[in-house]
């Protein structure tokens, strides 16, 4: 099993809470080009494979979930935090 990505404790806790309770969250993700982007949506699946950790996020208006490498996530904010 691969090592856990370097995501802060609070951010990982927010990710798990959103996943378990099927709640929306905002994810600050670094793109392959090195730019940060924010994805808002509901995490629907956390996958741990030999290649690493990834999370599928259902983000409106897309119908297909977006797969994000957990190592590329810099911050996870609960929906209530991101609205403030």
Q: Are 55 and 10 in contact (CB under 8 A)?
A: no
Rg (alpha carbons) of the chain, rounded to whole number:
12
Q: Report residue 19: phi and psi, to 5°.
A: -70, -50
Question: Partners of 63 in the beta sheet?
Answer: none
Q: Are 15 and 76 in contact (CB under 8 A)?
A: yes
- Give the count of alpha carbons within 13 A of 53, CB side only: 14
What's the pLDDT at 81? 56
* Domains of the chain: residue spans and CATH: 9-82 (2.30.30)
Mean pLDDT in residue range 7-28: 91
Q: How confident is the model at residue 40 (pLDDT cuts 50, 70, 90)?
A: very high
What's the pLDDT at 5? 75
- Name the 3-class secondary structure at 49: strand
- 7 vs 75, residue with greater confidence: 75
């Amino acid at each position: 099993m691969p090592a856990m990505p370097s995501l802060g404790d609070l951010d990982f806790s927010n990710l798990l809470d959103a996943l378990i309770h099927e709640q929306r969250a905002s994810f600050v993700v670094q793109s392959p080009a090195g730019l940060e982007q924010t994805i808002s949506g509901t995490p629907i699946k956390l996958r741990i494979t030999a290649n690493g950790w990834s999370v599928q996020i259902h983000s409106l208006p897309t119908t297909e979930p977006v797969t994000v490498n957990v190592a590329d996530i810099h911050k996870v904010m609960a929906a209530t935090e991101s609205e403030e």
